[in-house]
Amino acid sequence: MLKDLLIFIKKNFVLKLMKINVFADTICGWCFIGHRNLNAALKKFPEVKFDIKHVPFQLNSDMPAEGISRDKYLEIKFGGKDYAAPMYENMRLKANESGINLNLDKIKKTPNTVLSHLLIILSEQFNLQNEIKEKIYQSYFIDGLDIGDINILVDVAKANNIAENIFKDFINEKNIELVNSKLSTAREKNISGVPFFEIGKDFISGAQSSIQLENVIKANLN
């Protein structure tokens, strides 16, 4: 009887643990979609304690610190706005399915993303990583703000009760090197595109649906 009771308690009341690594860049629309879909999937498992880590990735590792104009970026990356349009239209449709209304026409600059990655890493100390990532994505893809601008990121931090001086003090050579070391993790794993998820023993590439992510989580809990 006691043994059966212990098995019942363990199965129904003891929190299960799962580690998830999310490789993402903050100017990646597919990463925003993947972020929303992962959050939707996680809600299906209230009995699980998830340890989720953001692993920085840069789509444009050679981006100048000050960023470049959106038009110039589209010209360099795709050959111009017209050539990028089909891909972005597909992204809009997928984003809508995840409850995101992208405002890509509001984006005027493509920024360097190192500072935004720094803020996400800092936010882990306050258990605010999810909220900060969401707000950074919204700031860029919905509000069209320059998330390479420290003042914009200070506003994001303060809106989530991270003091301005704490964030600014975190921006130093040591922590920038930390971001760079984390960026090398993706290269070592031969990850060439994001979002990329490490869920338990599985590796998932691309902005998968919440149902697909839910199924992978479920498979790794068994």
Q: Answer whether 206's CB lies under 8 Å from 213's CB.
A: no
At 147-196, the pLDDT tens digits run 999 999 999 999 999 999 999 999 999 999 999 998 899 889 999 999 99
Query: Which DSSP helix (H) or strand (E) runs through 150?
Result: helix 150-159
Query: 3-state class of 110 per DSSP?
Result: strand
Instruction: Check residue 222 and give its pLDDT.
Output: 81
pTM for the full predicted model: 0.92
Domains of the chain in start order, with CATH, are 16-221 (3.40.30.10)
